Structure 1
Amino acid sequence: MDERVEAVLRDGRAPGFHGLVVMRGGEVVLERYGAGPDHRLGEPLGHVTFGRDTLHDLRSVSKSVVALLYGIALGDGLVPEPGAGLTAQFPEYRDLAEDPGKAHLTIEHALTMTLGLDWNEDAPYTSPANSEIAMELAPDRYRYVLERPVAEEAGKRWRYCGGATALLGGIIARGTGRPVEEYAAEALFGPLGITDFAWTKGGDGVASAAAGLRLRPVDLAAVGQLVLDGGRGIVP
């Protein structure tokens, strides 16, 4: 594999190649890095020569990390069970909590992206027609998600929804009493030996739970290995 990877890079068959990490038996057996254009949540960073210590935009892999953080916080008794009411976690939106069409929504519906709300991420992620971009532009991201019209019964159909992960990030922050990025550093990254990361924030100063995490590829591989290993006591 090593020679084949080298040949692909040498022959220019992987333009814009950022990085590759291969693990076997829990150990890194191959690492290769390239160069190309990079972005931070849509912000151009120019042409970057990548190395082992270059942070990489994880985009929607951030969602999986947030789900792991919810699991850790749940095991520590810091957040409600998945079956708990969703709107009840945001009592400041009393009008939404009293909406009979949303009274049945639970945290599990957010975890499984089956909220049944009107949400569309088919439009380009440069356009406010995309629901996730509209959420980031809204003055209150949590209210924006929860006030979306009901499109269908919750729990019936999966619909890709960055807003669901944003709500989970808010629940984690409220339950742990700290921003999601600080809890991640203590509860997940620290035990894995991950010390270098960044989490891009929105205009409201809140980390973008749906797409803002930046990690070194080798550290993302460590997170993946953690999942393959059943959580190793870090994630219950």
Structure 2
Amino acid sequence: MDWMRSEPDSQGFSPDIAEKLDAMVSGGTLGAIHAIAVCRHGRLVLERYFTGNDQQIAVGDLGLIAFTGERLHDLRSVTKSIVGLLYGIALDRGLVPGLDAPIVDSFPEYADLAADPARRRLTVAHALDMTLGLEWDESLPYTDARNSEIAMEFAPDRYRFTLDRPIVAAPGARWIYSGGAVALLGALIERGSGQRLTAFAQDNLFTPLGITNSEWFAGMDGNYSAAAGLRLGALDLLRIGAMLANGGRHEGRTVVPAAWLAQSWTPRTTTSWGQAYGYLWYLDSATPPAFAAGTQSVAGFGNGGQRLFVLPEAGLACVVLAGLYDTSGAEEGPQRLWEQLVLPNLIL
């Protein structure tokens, strides 16, 4: 499916936004940006692709890549936000447990864990907003075996590994970033739908949006990484963003229920750095000139500068892909593009 392209000013942007982007790139302050693509009301208004060094999860360095809108790229933890959408689709169809369901009930093979009253308090909702209260530490580099996500990948059973972590906070009381929480959600989707995570995503999200090219990393145990394993091209990730900016609909068809988006984008907790968080989406306020102060934007964040930004009230979506993996300050360039280029130049 080809994109319909429009001049920026026909979609309410400053007519010189492309020149302003080029000036930011020339200024050298964006870091190793690989791609940026922006759409409004389903029309592509801005795109740039660059050449840079890249990596692939579980593969390593890929060398110097000349990126295009179709070139597959690691999304890293933007994958988590996509899995959140998949859970909402599955929930709407009655395939997965409800938000208040104890997670251990979906893993009957762990009878010892299910018998623990404290662990029975851990619900699906706590996994979606990362307030399970289980010990988890991803502050170490992802090359370090002590990083909890890496330890999970090497564990004999990733789901027992996650559910058996020591309880360090009451459920719902504290946000603890956890790839393990999303691994559990991926398992619930597979068990409820009877499909592998990749097949469920293809049938229920990718195919309806015309996305035909994707990859999803599977660990040594054969389980797909729900936390960080998805690879898409910039324009295909933007298709997801455009659908979200259109209230979950694409070409007149509901892909993700609007009610689920409303739930997902309701602030549930606060991250360790003070940002509001919903169900696997980061929430923020944005103030483009033509919109009221406090207009909410939502975003999926991924290691290395991967970003999917959506401003639903404006019908706006933006994708930034970058190669700043495991780099301090990797978020600065993508955030600058969103806050200093895209939003200020939305004038209508």
State the TM bucket, normalised to the shorter chain: over 0.9
- CA distance in 2 between counterparts of 1:90 and 1:39 reads 34
Helix, strand or coil: the match of 2:208? Answer: coil
Give the deviation of 1:7 after TM superposition. 4.1
2:90 to 56, 60, 73: 73
- CA distance in 1 between counterparts of 2:90 and 2:29 reads 43
Unaligned runs of 5+ in 2: 1-16, 258-348
Helix, strand or coil: the match of 2:121? Answer: coil
Q: Is 1:235 equivalent to 2:256 in the alignment?
A: yes
Partner of 2:207: 190
Partner of 2:171: 154
- CA distance in 1 between counterparts of 2:106 and 2:196 reads 16
- Deviation digits for residues 92-125 of structure 1, max 9, x if unmatched? 1111111222011111111111000111111111
Partner of 1:4: 20
Runs (4+) of structure 1 exceeding 6 A deviation are: none
Change (3 A) 1:6 1:85: same
Q: Which moved more, 1:11-20 or 1:160-169?
A: 11-20
Partner of 1:126: 143
RMSD: 1.5
Partner of 2:41: 25
Partner of 2:32: 16
- Deviation digits for residues 9-60 of structure 1, max 9, x if unmatched? 4676655321010112221111110011111125221111111220111110
Partner of 2:53: 37
- CA distance in 1 between counterparts of 2:27 and 2:121 reads 56
- CA distance in 2 between counterparts of 1:107 and 1:8 reads 42
- CA distance in 1 between counterparts of 2:107 and 2:71 reads 37
Say whether the 8 Å CA contact 1:19–1:34 is kept in structure 2: yes
Percent identity between the aligned chains? 52
* TM-score, L = length of structure 1: 0.95
- Deviation digits for residues 116-161 of structure 1, max 9, x if unmatched? 0111111111112111111111111111100101111111111111
Which structure dedicates a bigger proportion of its chain to strand? 2
